[in-house]
A and B are shown apart, each in its own frame.
Chain A
């Protein structure tokens, strides 16, 4: 194999901000004029607006000719490392191939140009897919009903918290049940959204095996327990084998259990939330189910519940009456809407198409291959000098991702995981994900290959990490000051954290630019020192 760095250099266009491409008089798009009859019949429309309500000066939008706008955004796209461009194994993100055929399918005018408020008679296609995918998710997860209204994993988890809240409120117990239990390695949303929903949160720290022990849960449950909300396997890739006992313990005190299946890729066809006793769950359709991540969104969560919670699902619910699909808005126990309309319908369509492509055998192959790939990487990455595997007492295989540690390398060389992350860009691959907060593993890096990758891609990633680790030992300077071949030169990101210098818009930048060259205040400190 050739040396992994192989002379890569990212496109570096030094493309100006669109506002700086403005030329007076340039037009990018003409809205067109109204017909004479309309001008005659309604030409006074704007004049009817009182002067003080009308815009006095045009907005400071740039004037750019159309093809320059084309080039501008095309260049920006070229400076973005999507999965279509290069290997991406970012931990907890479940990066995988988003089939192109799905993009062509959802472009159809009869999906793209449909208003969600249309008579259901004209939405039979949308409703059919939502209904069918609902049933498919029930089979996959062991649940009784799904909603696709939430627009991300975090919002799906929030929906779970609201459903738990409604359940206890309906039983008159919400007053005394004000605690939700989660774990340190569950996604931050499993702690954040119940708090937003009004609960106190108890976080279980991991035990000697790297996941919480039942004894920890024992210390946390009480008559005040409203529920348990956790991710399993956790972001470390470790599966908690006592999960059923966890559920039973919480049920015993009258709490509900919500399964965050953000890390559900290795479990498709292998183990189901419903079978473990969970009352509710959520999946990320833009992760596990192949819908594209959309540069951080087109998100969509599939939130599933068991029978006793169906009546609390937000309106409207898709129904099937013989052969006609409908929307049921008459749901007196429904929690308040989580988001507008029915959800990210195109994302649901893509997820549906993915499951229809693969079937039950294919889903199982996805899960098993993701686990196989991950353990192949683990076997090789652990042999790289400077790598440690946290909780070495836990010898069970990891499932779909691993949280590694560069702590030995850091102690030997002073190089940090953030610096290695940035050096990866010089090798033409998307970098890894260190860790969510709390950062309990020192100098962490989390890698999740998923099932899409070839062995060659994985070998390339292993060689890349090995090469960078060797650089840390032999020429640490090159890693300390990485990246050197990226789309932009080294950025002083402390500027972004200081109110005196940050700039979130072009107009703010014009005001703050002068402050960039002044010495920064002591208040400017960067996040996440590893």
Chain B
């Protein structure tokens, strides 16, 4: 082993390496690899690019690659569908960038008291939003949270059937199909495309004695706000099943908490809470439920509990680790590992900054901007907004009359105008080309007017 000088490997330099070899009484590090059979050893060197050991060279190289992207600074992004362009307060970046949090890992009650408190506060602030006493730290993403909650509800009810809304996020449905494969495949309940509302009669028909869990999105994937929540919950419970509602937490400044109208589990995505899109890397979820032992017993994640400290203060301890796959191993019914706790800390900062007034104001701002945009877009010849007269939050469906139009072609044309158009939901819509447009607090009037103008031009 030749000496290697690099700041990341201090003991590979000649001096320290020699000292270590001498301390061990060996001539070469090869002696330490004696257990590995010779025929398994790499012959020669790995086929990797020539390295850039100097910081400025590395930085230039990667920056040049990143420069080939376009982001919200270059384009107007009107796309959501699971990852949304929202404002990220400076403090969120500051705190998630702090080295103490960034480079922490599995320290416990005493060594990482700060991290535990921050994530407990995440649990608390989400709990305040959704109106529930039990909230998990971040999960892998919102779909994973929903999947875990649905299977938990099935275990609690002792049934395996899962019912989902027909117009739910198809990618999340796909994730769900994979996850519940060993137990039962989800069945769809009809949603009225015109209104986005769940078909209660079809729900009743689908609520057989084998159904343990029903999933609902609020707002729905297509942006519509479900107004029959209580009626849905009533039917679900009457059939002996449990209701899992997936939310956009940003909407909970203006919309009622689903636990108020009967949700047993609430799940959601925390990326809208002060986390950049990061090309999809900002996704993370949460699960919330009531403070009942039999429900908590089925949560697969770490859970941070407050606990009394000597002298009257409050500390934090990890609760009942025997629920998690770390302990259950080969009997695990769900799995958990390193997830996205750093984004949970960012979300805690965000909610602490916004406060109740801020969240309510923001919710209204988003609704106004997106309604303004929907009306503007609906005025463009050849464009319809089917849910224009329904209440929706942040996202809405846009359809196109032009014969032969495809969302792909329209989006490509919009791109030439510096605009990222909505997510293609044509297959879900079954009635010609349809896209899901997203408008947030980041889109000012000028941006929205530009969108309408560009659409008009693209479709003419």
Q: Please say whether chains A and B are actual partners in one complex.
A: yes
In B86-141, the 8 Å CB interface with A consists of 89, 91, 93-95, 97-115, 117-121, 123-125, 127-129, 131-135, 137-138, 140-141
Contacts of A76 in B (CB 8 A): 114-115, 117-118
A433 within 8 A of B: yes
A195 within 8 A of B: yes
Residue ID in chain B nearest A180 by CB atoms: B330
Beta-carbon contact of A359 and B50 below 8 Å:
yes
Residue ID in chain A nearest B25 by CB atoms: A379
From A28, A58, A299, name the one whose CB has the most chain B CB atoms within 10 angstroms: A28
Contacts of A80 in B (CB 8 A): 100-101, 104, 107, 111-115
Beta-carbon contact of B326 and A115 below 8 Å:
no
Contacts of A511 in B (CB 8 A): 133, 291
Residue ID in chain B nearest A44 by CB atoms: B371
Beta-carbon contact of A140 and B46 below 8 Å:
yes
B191 within 8 A of A: no
In B38-57, the 8 Å CB interface with A consists of 39-42, 45-53, 55
In A367-414, the 8 Å CB interface with B consists of 368-369, 371-373, 375-376, 379, 396-397, 399
B194 within 8 A of A: no
Beta-carbon contact of A296 and B69 below 8 Å:
no
Beta-carbon contact of B369 and A489 below 8 Å:
no
A206 within 8 A of B: no
Question: If A109-B71, A122-B420, A483-B110 touch, does A372 touch B225 (CB 8 Å cutoff)?
Answer: no
**Which stretch from A100-108, A250-258, A303-311, A465-473 is at the chain B interface?**
A100-108
Q: Interface range on chain B: under 10, 10 to 19, 20 to 34, or 35 or more?
A: 35 or more
Beta-carbon contact of A489 and B105 below 8 Å:
no
Beta-carbon contact of B98 and A34 below 8 Å:
no
In B249-264, the 8 Å CB interface with A consists of 252-257
> Closest approach, in angstroms, between the C-beta of A405 and any C-beta of chain B?
20
Beta-carbon contact of A296 and B339 below 8 Å:
yes
In B226-264, the 8 Å CB interface with A consists of 226-227, 229-230, 252-257
Contacts of B254 in A (CB 8 A): 46, 49, 54-55
The 8 Å CB contact of B140, one of A151, A342, A421, is A151
Map CB proximity to A onto B354-387 as digits: 1 under 8 Å, 0 otherwise. 1111111111110111111001100000000000
> Closest approach, in angstroms, between the C-beta of A108 and any C-beta of chain B?
5
> Closest approach, in angstroms, between the C-beta of A20 and any C-beta of chain B?
10
Q: Interface range on chain A: under 10, 10 to 19, 20 to 34, or 35 or more?
A: 35 or more
Beta-carbon contact of A296 and B133 below 8 Å:
no
Contacts of A341 in B (CB 8 A): 82-83, 279-281, 283
Beta-carbon contact of A241 and B16 below 8 Å:
no
B73 within 8 A of A: yes
A95 within 8 A of B: yes
Question: If A34-B368, A431-B108 touch, does A293 touch B45 (CB 8 Å cutoff)?
Answer: no
Beta-carbon contact of A508 and B291 below 8 Å:
yes
Beta-carbon contact of A344 and B364 below 8 Å:
no
Beta-carbon contact of B319 and A70 below 8 Å:
no
A208 within 8 A of B: no
From A38, A104, A269, name the one whose CB has the most chain B CB atoms within 10 angstroms: A38
> Closest approach, in angstroms, between the C-beta of A502 and any C-beta of chain B?
4
B37 within 8 A of A: yes
Beta-carbon contact of A53 and B11 below 8 Å:
no
B450 within 8 A of A: no
Map CB proximity to B onto A104-125 as digits: 1 under 8 Å, 0 otherwise. 1111111111111111011111
In A261-300, the 8 Å CB interface with B consists of 269-272, 275-276, 284, 286, 290, 292-299
Contacts of B375 in A (CB 8 A): 41-42
Residue ID in chain B nearest A76 by CB atoms: B114
Q: Contacts A30-B361, A356-B51 given; 7 further ones with Cβ under 8 A?
A: A28-B352, A52-B230, A54-B254, A126-B66, A341-B283, A358-B8, A496-B320
Jot down 21 A-B pairs with beta carbons below 8 A, ordered by A: A30-B358, A55-B253, A64-B353, A73-B345, A74-B98, A128-B68, A162-B178, A188-B332, A197-B181, A286-B338, A294-B341, A299-B339, A341-B83, A345-B280, A360-B45, A362-B4, A369-B12, A371-B33, A488-B110, A504-B303, A508-B127
